[in-house]
Structure 1
Amino acid sequence: MARFTLSCLSLALFLTTLVETTTALQLPWSTPRTQVDSLPSQSFTQWMANYARAYEHASDQESRLKIFEDNARFIDSVNAEKRPFKLKANMFADRTKDELRFLRMGFRPPINASNFSSAFMHEYDNVSVPQSLDWREKGAVTPVKDQGFTCGSCWAFGAVAAVESITQIRTGKLVSLSEQELVDCVNTTRSQGCKGGFKEDGFQSIVDNCGLSTEAEYPYRGVSRTCNTEEPSTWVAKIKGYRYIPPNNENALLKAVANHPVAVSIDAGSKAFGFYSEGVFTGECGTNLDHEVLIVGYGITEDGLKYWLVKNSWSTEWGERGYIRMQRDVAAPEGICGIAMAASYPIA
């Protein structure tokens, strides 16, 4: 039984409720924004202008203002604690905690230990692990992308990002690949386009189809469509398979990342994670895995705080230009936000 994580389920369902109160539902992080952390209503007005947000009725705007003010108080209270990370009123600032979690709702079945063979440990028996590593500096990471507001496709973005990186490491060529092809063409009982899915199903689809199209050939639309079965002019990325990393083992995860970026599942449903702005995230979060991201490196701060460098798919408007640094080597074996629970990578 393959281990898997259902990620970002029901983004589209959430939009149905939000559209009743919002008339300008374009991607709210499509242009550069300024930070708004204070409480007065004029701050909310400025935030609305910054994010091109408009509401159909005055009552809708009033209710969203109250939510905004509640979130701003939360942001201010966390920032006042002088933690190693900061929050800001980003594109999620007019939503409740339940709405934030709904954006990333998912399901995690029991882990089957038989998935984790000795092949992984043998592959990295004699790995040299440097103190810090950033695969972006080695040219193995494509720019941050944006999965959009209406499609629960983080599973496809996680899979594709990992394949883009391993392809560059093996061939020296960094090419942006098609998430939309996976969204349209992977249709299993557990992966259904914008309704959510599993990165491993994405890997398997690339194996079964002998490659993946480029983003230019099969561009992202942010909706589930009929699979385009026309073969592209050139297959630019092929993989032989994929491998799981033993769960709840940050040391094993570190050895893998020292060799290539790794796709991981995390619990991204907390308010602190949603409003993350900068620094090393040490905030409260659980292990209800609901989101797929890519670890592209690791490091240690001047204060000695170890971290994972993680690429998200919420555009460069979120976090540190689309990235988050998450605390590494925590006391819990599953890692912060469950980052060590469900990790895998493609084999090229």
Structure 2
Amino acid sequence: MALSSFSKLFFLAIFMLCSFITLASACDFSIVGYSPDDLTCINKLINLFESWIDKHGKKYKSLEEKLHRFEIFKDNLKHIDEKNKVNSNYWLGLNEFADLSHEEFKKIYLGLKADRLPQRDESLQEFKYRDFESLPKSVDWRKKGVVSRIKNQGSCGLMDYAFTYIVSKGGLHKEEDYPYLMEEGTCEENKDEAERVTISGYHDVPANDEQSLLKAHANQPLSVAIEASGRDFQFYSGGVFDGHCGSELDHGVAAVGYGSSKGLEYIIVKNSWGPKWGEKGFIRMKRNTGKPSGMCGINKMASFPTKTK
């Protein structure tokens, strides 16, 4: 129902007068998207919100919707600022998801369903890299030209069965020949098959075994799954993530490297939430946590494609 002129003025008054209390963070504010001065009064918060809207090209259907998103924005900013006061290894920022509640975000971006994944039978396969001994101290497959550009999956969050699909469809086309557009459409099933890249199958890395994961990872990028439902994941902007998370897998990603920084060992993970999220679309996740499943369950379900000659 449309708002009367009086109601609009009433909501605008609330918009201007509502309070937001927070303390300044000790973070690099050019990275996280706000400064301590932005948090000192409501007018500056409104200006921050308007600048954020312009930066990310947001559009709202009505004043009511804009007010609703502003309330969510304030709550998210409060969470970000409070976390940045205490976190030293990673930080959060006002990214393009700052007007989404955490429940909305999870519904849109977390689509992997653990109960729909195929059951592993590791007794049927011998781990290919079990005897691999020369483990490099660091690997970054991005520098070797084998990692594709960062994409934004939008509301398409189902990553399971990817390798099986590639085999059943006779391969995939190259990115430059058939680019991902992040929009609804019809697949061109009859596109020239000569240009397809094919695989023979896939191989599972032994579950809950970080050493096996690193051995496989030293040879190629890996498909992995993590639990990404923690609120900090929504706003991760940089650093080595060692925050709270469980191991109930809900998001498919790719491991594209590993290394260490300031004594913290990490795995480089390629996400699919666009290049404005995290470190240009990537996140460094702590490894060597002492938990068999690893940080956010990353050691539980790793696999890689295979190709017979």
TM-score, scaled to structure 2 = 0.80
Equivalent-residue separation in structure 2 for 1:252 and 1:311 (angstroms): 20
For 1:268, the equivalent position in structure 2 comes to 228
Residues 298, 309 of structure 1: 8 Å contact kept: yes
Q: Which amino acid aligns with 1:294?
A: A
Q: Deviations over 1:61-87 (max 9, x none)?
A: 112111111111111111111420010
Residues 248, 340 of structure 1: 8 Å contact kept: yes
Q: For 1:61-210, what aligned pairs fall within 5 Å after superposition?
A: 61-103=66-108, 104-109=110-115, 112-115=119-122, 117-120=124-127, 122-147=128-153, 149-152=154-157, 196-198=158-160, 201-210=161-170
Q: 1:118, CA displacement in angstroms?
A: 4.5
From the superposition, tell whether residues 338 and 116 of structure 1 become closer, same or farther in structure 2 (CA, over 3 Å): farther
Q: 1:113, CA displacement in angstroms?
A: 4.9
Q: Which amino acid aligns with 1:292?
A: G
* Structure 2 portions without partners, runs of 5+: 1-30, 40-44
Q: Deviations over 1:19-56 (max 9, x none)?
A: xxxxxxxxxxxxxx982364422111111111111222
Q: Deviations over 1:309-331 (max 9, x none)?
A: 11112221111111100000112
Q: Deviations over 1:208-228 (max 9, x none)?
A: 333221233333232454442
For 2:247, the equivalent position in structure 1 comes to 287
Q: Which amino acid aligns with 1:127?
A: E
From the superposition, tell whether residues 74 and 330 of structure 1 become closer, same or farther in structure 2 (CA, over 3 Å): same
For 1:340, the equivalent position in structure 2 comes to 299
From the superposition, tell whether residues 123 and 34 of structure 1 become closer, same or farther in structure 2 (CA, over 3 Å): closer
Equivalent-residue separation in structure 2 for 1:205 and 1:82 (angstroms): 40
Q: 1:133, CA displacement in angstroms?
A: 1.0
More RCO (CA 8 Å, sep 6+):
1
From the superposition, tell whether residues 113 and 233 of structure 1 become closer, same or farther in structure 2 (CA, over 3 Å): closer
For the residue of structure 2 that corresponds to 1:123, the secondary structure is: coil
For 1:221, the equivalent position in structure 2 comes to 181
For 1:50, the equivalent position in structure 2 comes to 55
For 2:258, the equivalent position in structure 1 comes to 298
Equivalent-residue separation in structure 2 for 1:217 and 1:92 (angstroms): 31
From the superposition, tell whether residues 141 and 197 of structure 1 become closer, same or farther in structure 2 (CA, over 3 Å): closer
Equivalent-residue separation in structure 1 for 2:120 and 2:251 (angstroms): 21
Q: 1:265, CA displacement in angstroms?
A: 0.7
Q: Deviations over 1:74-108 (max 9, x none)?
A: 11111111420010010110111111221214421
Q: Please, which of 23, 34, 37 is the counterpart of residue 36 of structure 1?
A: 34
Residues 309, 325 of structure 1: 8 Å contact kept: yes
Say yes or no: does 1:250 pair with 2:255: no
Higher Rg: 2
Q: Deviations over 1:228-277 (max 9, x none)?
A: 22141523411111011111111111111011000101111221011000
Equivalent-residue separation in structure 1 for 2:301 and 2:124 (angstroms): 14
Q: Deviations over 1:283-311 (max 9, x none)?
A: 1122221211111110011x211100111
RMSD: 2.2
Aligned residues: 268
Equivalent-residue separation in structure 1 for 2:87 and 2:200 (angstroms): 46
For the residue of structure 2 that corresponds to 1:293, the secondary structure is: strand
From the superposition, tell whether residues 46 and 34 of structure 1 become closer, same or farther in structure 2 (CA, over 3 Å): farther
For the residue of structure 2 that corresponds to 1:286, the secondary structure is: coil
Percent identity over the alignment? 38
Q: 1:111, CA displacement in angstroms?
A: 7.8
Q: Deviations over 1:145-195 (max 9, x none)?
A: 232x2432xxxxxxxxxxxxxxxxxxxxxxxxxxxxxxxxxxxxxxxxxxx
